[in-house]
Amino acid sequence: MTGPTGSVLVELRGVEKRFGATHALDAVSLDVRAGEIHAFVGENGAGKSTLGKVIAGIYSADQGEVFVDGAPVERWNPGIAQRRGIAMIAQELALVPDLTVAQNVFLGAEQHWLGVERRNLDARFAALDAEVGFGLDPHARVRDLRIADKQKVEILRSLARGARVIVMDEPTSSLTAHEMTQLEDLMRTLRDRGCCVIYVSHFLDSVLGVADRITVMRDGRRIETFDAAAVRKHDLVTSMLGREMDQAYPDRPAAPGPDAPVLLDVQHLRTDTGVEDMSFTVRAGEIVGLLGLVGSGRTECLRAVFGLDAIVEGEVRFGDLDWSGRSPKQSIDAGLVLVSEDRHKDGLVLQRSVRENIALASLGARARGGVIDGRRERSVAEELSRALEIRPLDPELPVGWFSGGNQQKALLGKALAAGPKAIILDEPTRGVDVGAKRTIYELIARLAEEGIAVLLISSEHEEIMELAHRAYLVSDGRTFAEIVPVQTTVEDVLFRLFHVTPGEEAAA
């Protein structure tokens, strides 16, 4: 293999992992080395997280061997892995919210952490923090931190335990562009200190920019390990998919005529969650985007429209009805659905099957005289699973068994089962692989063609620029301009988002 010549820290030989009928890892052999950033890429369900978990001792292999520092390990679990210097920053962070930053960092790193002298703890924290340059406040409660800082705490925590191999599973999926750059710098810092960073991500540009080696997984197999300096994005995608990639975006559906009814009409919305003054409309058959930076108030706006948060001022109309102060249940029953960005908190019951999750969304629509039509439920679940290419294609499996991207697709399926007239999509392709993104884009286009009003939020601005008929620019809780994507460019939009003079061109 080409690439860095640092010593091999962990090596897998012929590792097998099965979950029931799923062959999650199929004869995987791989090494990771000191002083490298080693990325794992692949489609949803390809086995990336499972591979990371085997390396970190969270799963043990059904067959095959794990070598650490050249010697085979006899027993393999998270405790042993930790003692051997291997840590994983999970997709769902495992911090104690009510403890401080410093307490979390040293939690479990020693026997009697509560007994650690405060001054001592502070000094040690300061030394550690200075090494990586985070500048975290040791006394802040973890509960009050935003996700990017929580990740930093997790990273410090693994360093406090002497980690040399740090597995980061999709660490950037909820970060702003700026935080993403910071995280990439951090990965480089760790690498330069001689650590191995394993970076699992769907952001191929980031992967190409930061990684030394890139391992492509497909169907549980290691397909190839590339030297990142010598590979192009196109080759990566082809290797991930096992075929040439179609064009990324489908054709934009025809814009609805001026006589198409306005289904969503929001005027001067204000909430106490950060929306100051937002106004926009969405017609039947129209795809409308909200373009803004993370934290600009887009998600908060949608939550209020859907009925999750209170409206303080302004008007929301859904069709002919005043839609202020409605509950989420009323919204769903009336055909206004929200696909939330947080699939675990607002979206899915992980212990339940895809069919059950879908049924939960559409109980009102499917109940016949109080009896739920089981057969119909199954056929709807199957139809949607097929349309969204949910894998494995078995609506009876618990959602928690699915890979991250497939959970996202199930969430979308749940919203569609309710038979919406208007659908609000908040980051619908987060954690979804390149191939599946195209499936979701096609679906969005089809919804519009069927006359459904689509309101789309995405931090990948290109998605809105390629799919939407119209879009509003949002900053500091305000819609400050309306654009037609085909008449402008992503660069122009970014320029305007970063150089806003609020109130300068208030939306009419």
Ligand X SMILES: Nc1ncnc2c1ncn2[C@@H]1O[C@H](COP(=O)(O)OP(=O)(O)OP(=O)(O)O)[C@@H](O)[C@H]1O
Residue 151 vs 406, nearer CB to ligand X: 406
Residue 175 vs 278, nearer CB to ligand X: 175
> What does 173 bind: ligand X, Mg ion, none (CB cut-off 5 to 8 Å by kind)?
none
50 binds ligand X (CB under 6 A): yes
Q: Find the shortest distance in angstroms from Cβ 45 to ligand X.
A: 4
6, two tokens: 């640092």
> What does 113 bind: ligand X, Mg ion, none (CB cut-off 5 to 8 Å by kind)?
none
Helix (H) or strand (E) holding 362: none
404 binds Mg ion (CB under 5 A): yes
How many H helices and E strands in the chain?
A: 17, 22
Backbone φ, ψ for residue 334 (5° rounding)? -85, -5
Q: Find the shortest distance in angstroms from Cβ 50 to ligand X.
A: 3
Among 3, 47, 85, 413, which residue sits at the site for ligand X (rule: CB under 6 A)? 47
Residue-by-residue DSSP string for 60-72? --SEEEEEETTEE
- C-alpha 179/C-alpha 20 separation (Å) is 38
- C-alpha 90/C-alpha 95 separation (Å) is 11
Residues 382 to 411 in contact with ligand X, rule: CB under 6 A: 392, 401-406
Q: Which amino acid, residue 362? A: S
105, two tokens: 């960092």
Identify the bridge partners of residue 13 per DSSP, sorted by sequence position. 65
Residues 38 to 57 in contact with Mg ion, rule: CB under 5 A: 49
Residues 1 to 30 in contact with ligand X, rule: CB under 6 A: 19, 22, 24
407 binds Mg ion (CB under 5 A): no
171 binds ligand X (CB under 6 A): no
497 binds ligand X (CB under 6 A): no
Q: Find the shortest distance in angstroms from Cβ 388 to Mg ion.
A: 17
203 binds ligand X (CB under 6 A): no
Asked if residue 484 lies in contact with residue 470, where contact means CB atoms within 8 angstroms, the answer is yes
Binding piece for Mg ion, criterion CB under 5 A, among 103-111, 316-324, 398-406, 473-481: 398-406
Asked if residue 339 lies in contact with residue 416, where contact means CB atoms within 8 angstroms, the answer is no
323, two tokens: 């839609």
Binding piece for ligand X, criterion CB under 6 A, among 47-55, 355-363, 421-429, 497-505: 47-55
Nearest to 332 by CA among 269, 412, 415: 415
Q: Contact positions toward ligand X, by CB under 6 A? A: 19, 22, 24, 42, 44-50, 392, 401-406, 433
